[in-house]
Amino acid sequence: MLPLQAALENNKIPIDSFARGVYLAVKSPRAMKKQIDLVMFDLDGTLAATGRDLANSVNYIRSALRLDPLDDKLVYSHVGRGVEHLLRMSLPENSQDRFKEIMELFLKHYAEHLLDTTALYPHVRETLEYFEKKKRVVVSNKLHRLTVPILRGLGIEACFDAVLGGDSAAEKKPHPGALNRVLADFRIEPARGLIVGDGDADIEAGRGAGVHTCGVTYGLGRKEELVAARPDYLIDDLSELEKYFY
């Protein structure tokens, strides 16, 4: 079984999944790529480094509750399944009876500080430009009213044909509902769709929807959980998408 890097260096790519260790030798660069019509991107940890601003708002809440701050990396590990999950995992059980009040305070603080340090990851703009003739959609578990201002503030809102937040469908990722909605709205077959994300929830949602899945290792999610989710592709830089898709 060839390691993934060796396979790439020898002009080989996975037939189904890198995790299966099965590769197909090819001759032309175009033959190495899969044609797609739709790219769905996660936001937090995939397009934008939002972790520090989220951690600051979590620790603002903890300070208000007279709790010690959490390490940023611990907060990052809870990002990706929506704000309710983030807060519940970041607070003690005895805070749950005031959860609605705490949530409102968190959302108010975060809405005022969501672009303090948040920035695009390397090569996001170039990758979006590469896929400019495809449908490009953001599918995030972050509330829609928080997702759009981040995209707008970072100057990439106009790059997308649609933006879905965690409240845009009945279920959040890892449920495939939001992805299925995008496929239906744009009348695209699952085999011509792709989901890109840094968390296992993105990969599980993509598998449920029947689209290609690609994990990014540079994000906020735990790499071991991402690998365990068995994405079809695993990349260290968003620009690597150009190697596999056109």
Residues 186-245: tens digit of each pLDDT: 999 999 999 999 999 999 999 999 999 999 999 999 999 999 999 999 999 999 999 999
Residues 39 and 139 in one domain: yes
**Overall average pLDDT of the 9-31 stretch:** 44
Residues 70 and 122 in one domain: no
DSSP-assigned letters across all residues of 203-231 = HHHHHHHT-EEEEETTSSS-HHHHHHT--
Task: Provide the pLDDT for residue 97.
Answer: 85
Residues 163 and 63 in one domain: no
Q: Predicted confidence band at 27 (pLDDT cuts at 50, 70, 90)? A: very low
Residue 72: closest CA among 91, 82, 83, 57 = 57
Q: Predicted confidence band at 30 (pLDDT cuts at 50, 70, 90)? A: low
Residues 107 and 14 in one domain: no
Report the alpha-carbon distance of residue 38 to residue 110 in Å, rounded. Answer: 31
**Active site (catalytic) residues:** 42
Task: Provide the pLDDT for residue 4.
Answer: 42
Residues 194 and 161 in one domain: yes
Residues 78 and 107 in one domain: yes
Task: Provide the pLDDT for residue 20.
Answer: 42
Residues 104 and 183 in one domain: no
**Overall average pLDDT of the 99-128 stretch:** 97
The alpha-helical segments, DSSP class H, found in 2-161 are: 4-9, 51-64, 72-76, 83-90, 99-113, 124-130, 144-153
pLDDT digits (tens, 9 = 90+) for 115-168: 999 999 999 999 999 999 999 999 999 999 999 999 999 999 999 999 999 999
Residue with tokens 């970041």: 90
Query: Which one of 60, 87, 113 terminates a domain?
Result: 113
Residues 67 and 21 in one domain: no
Domain count, the chain: 3
Residues 151 and 39 in one domain: yes
pLDDT at residue 8 is higher than 70: no
Q: Predicted confidence band at 31 (pLDDT cuts at 50, 70, 90)? A: low
pLDDT at residue 1 is higher than 80: no
Task: Provide the pLDDT for residue 19.
Answer: 46
DSSP 3-state of 32: helix
Task: Provide the pLDDT for residue 16.
Answer: 47
Residues 180 and 104 in one domain: no
Residue 234 structural domain: 33-49+118-244
Among 10-19, 78-87, 210-219, the least confident range? 10-19
**CATH number of the domain to which 146 belongs:** 3.40.50.1000
Report the alpha-carbon distance of residue 212 to residue 35 in Å, rounded. Answer: 11
Rounded mean pLDDT of the chain?
90
Residues 220 and 174 in one domain: yes
Query: Which one of 62, 92, 113 terminates a domain?
Result: 113
Q: Predicted confidence band at 3 (pLDDT cuts at 50, 70, 90)? A: very low
Residues 217 and 149 in one domain: yes
